[in-house]
């Protein structure tokens, strides 16, 4: 993975790690909020021979009643739909975010001779059904940067529990469908890139799955610490790629956040 993709990965995780996660049905007219912090992240990507990479990085978060900015991710909030009473709501938004899945030929020995794969900009729409039992989020995005020209559709469920006044616990399950353009761009091998040890490979659409757990400790309304663990099970078309030597990728994120 190119080293520059790590800041975007960490920053894109700041939003769900804010204290706002404790109140998934926060009112639309809530005042704006700022957050700054620092995090350490450790990520293992599936490419053969690619070392685990560890980084310490800054975080940034801003949110008001119509806009959410989290690092390279941006969401324009649309009017939401209340269902029955305040315990249920469907929220809509237009989203744009950086996708740091690109790589360069010198990122791993097996990638030598491969053309660079650029990290793209994804844009699309999302809908979140929030209840007092579970939160369900569906998000469709497409590459608008002209790199993969692919599409993604993500479906995620999560639930936040408050364990006493200071501890938040949020397990999640998710699935992400990746179309053939996206998968082939990042995991395919073109005929001009094939070697004796790296066969040509044309990938098709596939489905990744994820399981994760996020914990947060709230010292007070300003200071908090968090830990996020995630494991992604790779779809068949990715696992079959000659560039890949594992069936999962994983990450560990730990950090501190100050909310103004």
User: 110: domain CATH number?
Assistant: 2.40.160
Sign of the C-alpha dihedral, residues 62, 65, 68, 74?
negative
What is the gyration radius of the CA atoms in the chain, in angstroms? Answer: 19
pLDDT tens digit sequence for 98-119:
888 889 999 999 999 999 999 8
pLDDT at position 12: 44
Give the 3-state secondary structure percentages of the chain, helix then strand then coil, rounded to 5: 15, 55, 30
What mean pLDDT do residues 8-32 have?
46
Q: Which value, to the nearest 10 degrees, does the dihedral of the CA atoms of residues 43, 46, 50, 55 take?
A: -10
Instruction: Provide the residue range defining the domain that includes 253.
Output: 5-259
DSSP H helices, the chain, are: 5-11, 180-187, 236-239
Which of 42, 8, 56 is closest to 256 using CA atoms? 56
Total structural domains in the chain? 1
- The predicted model scores a pTM of 0.85
pLDDT at position 86: 58
* Pairwise CA distance, residues 69 & 15, whole Å: 8
């Amino acid at each position: 993975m190119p080293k520059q993709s790590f800041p975007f990965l960490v920053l894109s995780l700041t939003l769900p790690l804010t204290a706002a996660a404790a109140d998934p049905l926060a009112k639309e007219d809530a005042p704006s909020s700022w957050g700054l912090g620092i995090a350490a992240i450790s990520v293992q990507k599936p490419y053969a021979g690619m070392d685990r990479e560890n980084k310490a990085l800054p975080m940034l978060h801003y949110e008001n009643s119509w806009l959410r900015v989290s690092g390279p991710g941006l969401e324009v909030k649309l009017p939401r739909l209340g269902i029955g009473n305040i315990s249920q709501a469907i929220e809509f938004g237009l989203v744009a975010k950086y996708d740091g899945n690109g790589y360069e030929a010198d990122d791993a020995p097996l990638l030598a001779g491969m053309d660079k794969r650029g990290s793209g900009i994804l844009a699309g729409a999302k809908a979140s059904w929030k209840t007092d039992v579970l939160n369900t989020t569906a998000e469709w995005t497409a590459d608008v940067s002209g790199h993969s020209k692919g599409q993604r559709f993500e479906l995620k469920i999560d639930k936040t529990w408050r364990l006493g006044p200071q501890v938040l616990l949020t397990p999640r399950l998710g699935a992400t469908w990746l179309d053939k353009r996206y998968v082939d761009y990042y995991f395919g091998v073109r005929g001009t890139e094939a070697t004796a040890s790296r066969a040509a490979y044309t990938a098709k659409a596939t489905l990744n799955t994820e399981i994760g757990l996020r914990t947060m400790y709230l010292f007070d309304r300003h200071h908090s610490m968090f830990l996020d663990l995630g494991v992604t099970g790779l779809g068949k078309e990715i696992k079959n790629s000659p560039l890949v030597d594992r069936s999962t990728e994983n990450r560990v994120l730990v950090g501190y956040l100050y909310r103004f």
